[in-house]
Structure 1
Amino acid sequence: MKQIGEVVKPWLNRGKRMALAKEFEQIMQHPLLQAYIREHPEIPLSVYKHSVNALKQWLTEKENCQRCPGLDTCPNMMKGHFTKLVDELGYLEFRMQPCRKWKVQQEMFKVQSLIRSYHIPKDVLESSFETLDYDMGRIHAIDAAIDFCNQFANGKPKKGLYLYGPFGVGKSRIAGAIMNEIIQYKKSSYMVYLPDFMRDISDSIHENNLSEKVDFLKKVDVLILDDIGAEYLTPWKRDEILGAVLHYRYAERLPTVFTSNMSLDQLEEHLAYSSKGNADWMKAKRIMERIRHYVIPLAVNGPNRRESLSN
């Protein structure tokens, strides 16, 4: 006499086969898979039968993409990716493909990585030539800044810019617009508020990352030194930090943009006097040789925009 298991097992297997066949039929009737079948008439039915799990995963992710909740909450196996079916030796396997939103995000990250800043206000970092005020006191400087950026289309500018003028006339905003404009040429930039950078140099020595910070200033495609002349300088900071950075950039023909409340002559005097009050005109002239002959001086004038914003 047969044991009950021997009698029931064939029925269970048959029931399982029927359930799988029904599931396969439902999958094959799915509109998304029907569209795929029409696009790939060369794939035989047997391949689909051998690939039920891959088809289920593919359909799930296709449906997820149709009602995409956004990259942050993407429910797919790999965030920002979808599965692509590939016929491999009689089986449909899936390969992960990045979606359009993921590609846009990665491109945005690349753009953001081209811009670095040190203690620069947000409104300056977001400045653009489209949002600047083209008044008579600034139009010449803005035109020169646009020309500076355009030169990257065929290489790089031979000279940097020296934007100088009274407080609050928008020198930093013009420099910020340069930083955002050269992104289209895939050029990196670093905008540094020089007074804070020089003040924090001592901390960098203790943190053992001074050489890394200085090295980036040396090698970035476009360095923007904001408010030079307002920094507190020791002879060491002047000669070994500022002087070393400018000497390297001069040797490598890397353009530097400066903003300052001082003219070039006034800056030379500022660099000559150390924090102890001693004058070293030779050291100052040496640094100025790396500035004067490699920048276009541009006077920026007009009303104090900071005052108008505070009123």
Structure 2
Amino acid sequence: MQLVKYKQNPRIKQLIKESLSSVHPITNEILLKNQDILDDFLLSYKKCDLSSECQQVTKGHQIDITFQNNQFYLQNSFCVHQQQQDKVNKIINNYLYADFDVKDFLLIAKDYYFNELANTSFKLLTDSEKHERSNLLKDALENVKKNKTKGVYLYGSPGIGKTYVFKVLANTFSAKGKKVAFCTLRSVIDKVRRSFKSSGVKAAEITNNLKQVDVLFLDDIGGETLSPWSRDDFLFEILNYRMENKKVTFFTSNFSIDQLEENFKITKKNNAHNQEDHAIEQIKINRIISRIQALADEKKVDWDIKRNAC
């Protein structure tokens, strides 16, 4: 009767199965020899499930059992709730800068794939979009894993999900231990300007984080009107540092890189009053564009508009 209880326990059952391919398989004889410790384990064992509250006496911690050299051993371990919380904390803590609330968007590539991209009942995306998004994430993750330093300049119409996909990618890098920053240029420039008048986070700290972070995401580049300082000092300093130090950088935009160059010209045309001024402006614009091209491969996406969905 006792043997049946042992073998019905999911954790002991797992150990028995794993032992079958080892030099010390768990036999009935071994189970009976370890009755005391197995009984202690059954008495303390509580299985946690993420769909319900933590069942452990000491929240987040559970009694586990291992098997080695014909002997069972009890040990303390984290339950699935604590393991999940540790994963969440890792994602949040690896962001050096984010202009969205990370704790409210924790989706990583693996879950995105199974919940949406590989889910035939998920109809908000066409099959071709699912395939393209899946390949985009897969290629980006593999490139960084292989120590390739070029990111992606992803452009297309507003509201088609570019930011959503790159937030998933940013979370995934963070979950894998990379230090990450995710920001729109407009918001980070506003924060830097405010820092000049406050005693809080300093402009130099923000700038250094964006320069040195493992993976930087600049969202919606070209969606802002840049002052000479914003473009030629702040943005150029960050992009130039990342190019010279081979730091992985991703961009989203509503403009192709050629259109972005024209956008910079339109933004700045009032500052150039003669031919010489225009020539200087063009040099400054070219410096920015060349850094973007060095940092990222351009990719256009023609997804359907789905603002606030995915």
The alignment's TM-score, normalised by the length of structure 1, stands at: 0.62
Gap change, CA 1:140 and 1:74, over 3 Å in 2: closer
Contact 1:169–1:302 at 8 Å: present in 2 too?
Answer: yes
Q: Find the residue that maps to 1:253 and give its secondary structure.
A: coil
Q: Which shifted more, 282-291 or 262-271?
A: 262-271
Looking at structure 1, the residues matched to 105 and 256 of structure 2 have their Cα atoms a distance apart, in angstroms, of 22
Looking at structure 1, the residues matched to 87 and 303 of structure 2 have their Cα atoms a distance apart, in angstroms, of 38
Looking at structure 1, the residues matched to 264 and 232 of structure 2 have their Cα atoms a distance apart, in angstroms, of 10
Q: State the shift of 1:185 in Å.
A: 3.3
Q: Deviations over 1:191-242 (max 9, x none)?
A: 1122222233210222251111111111221111110001221111112211
Q: State the shift of 1:190 in Å.
A: 1.7
Q: State the shift of 1:286 in Å.
A: 0.6
Q: Deviations over 1:155-188 (max 9, x none)?
A: x223110111111122112212212333453223
Q: Deviations over 1:67-116 (max 9, x none)?
A: 99967x9876xx75689xxxxxxxxxxxx966435455334312332245
Looking at structure 2, the residues matched to 81 and 201 of structure 1 have their Cα atoms a distance apart, in angstroms, of 42
Looking at structure 1, the residues matched to 102 and 35 of structure 2 have their Cα atoms a distance apart, in angstroms, of 56
Contact 2:220–2:251 at 8 Å: present in 1 too?
Answer: yes
Looking at structure 2, the residues matched to 250 and 138 of structure 1 have their Cα atoms a distance apart, in angstroms, of 31
2:228 paired residue among 216, 220, 235: 235
Q: Deviations over 1:106-144 (max 9, x none)?
A: 343123322452147988764744225355468546523
Q: State the shift of 1:243 in Å.
A: 0.8
2:170 paired residue among 153, 173, 179: 179
Gap change, CA 1:122 and 1:173, over 3 Å in 2: farther
Alignment of 1:1-311 (within 5 A): 38=36, 99-100=78-79, 102-115=82-95, 116-119=97-100, 126=107, 128=109, 129-130=112-113, 131-132=116-117, 133=125, 135-136=127-128, 139-140=131-132, 142-154=134-146, 156-183=147-174, 185-207=176-198, 209-274=202-267, 277-279=270-272, 280-306=281-307
> Partner residue of 1:18?
none
Contact 2:152–2:299 at 8 Å: present in 1 too?
Answer: yes
Gap change, CA 1:112 and 1:239, over 3 Å in 2: same
Looking at structure 1, the residues matched to 207 and 268 of structure 2 have their Cα atoms a distance apart, in angstroms, of 21
Q: State the shift of 1:258 in Å.
A: 0.4
Looking at structure 1, the residues matched to 106 and 259 of structure 2 have their Cα atoms a distance apart, in angstroms, of 27
Q: State the shift of 1:256 in Å.
A: 0.7
Q: State the shift of 1:252 in Å.
A: 1.4
Gap change, CA 1:243 and 1:124, over 3 Å in 2: farther
> Partner residue of 2:121?
none
Looking at structure 2, the residues matched to 201 and 123 of structure 1 have their Cα atoms a distance apart, in angstroms, of 24
- In our comparison, the structure showing a higher alpha carbon Rg is 1
Looking at structure 2, the residues matched to 141 and 104 of structure 1 have their Cα atoms a distance apart, in angstroms, of 26
Gap change, CA 1:138 and 1:264, over 3 Å in 2: farther
Looking at structure 1, the residues matched to 188 and 175 of structure 2 have their Cα atoms a distance apart, in angstroms, of 27
Contact 1:142–1:174 at 8 Å: present in 2 too?
Answer: no
Q: Find the residue that maps to 2:226 and give its secondary structure.
A: coil
> Partner residue of 2:13?
none
Looking at structure 2, the residues matched to 104 and 75 of structure 1 have their Cα atoms a distance apart, in angstroms, of 18
Gap change, CA 1:81 and 1:125, over 3 Å in 2: closer
Q: State the shift of 1:248 in Å.
A: 1.2
Contact 1:163–1:297 at 8 Å: present in 2 too?
Answer: yes
Letter in 1 for 2:195: S
Equivalenced residues, count: 239
Looking at structure 2, the residues matched to 206 and 223 of structure 1 have their Cα atoms a distance apart, in angstroms, of 26
Looking at structure 1, the residues matched to 257 and 170 of structure 2 have their Cα atoms a distance apart, in angstroms, of 23
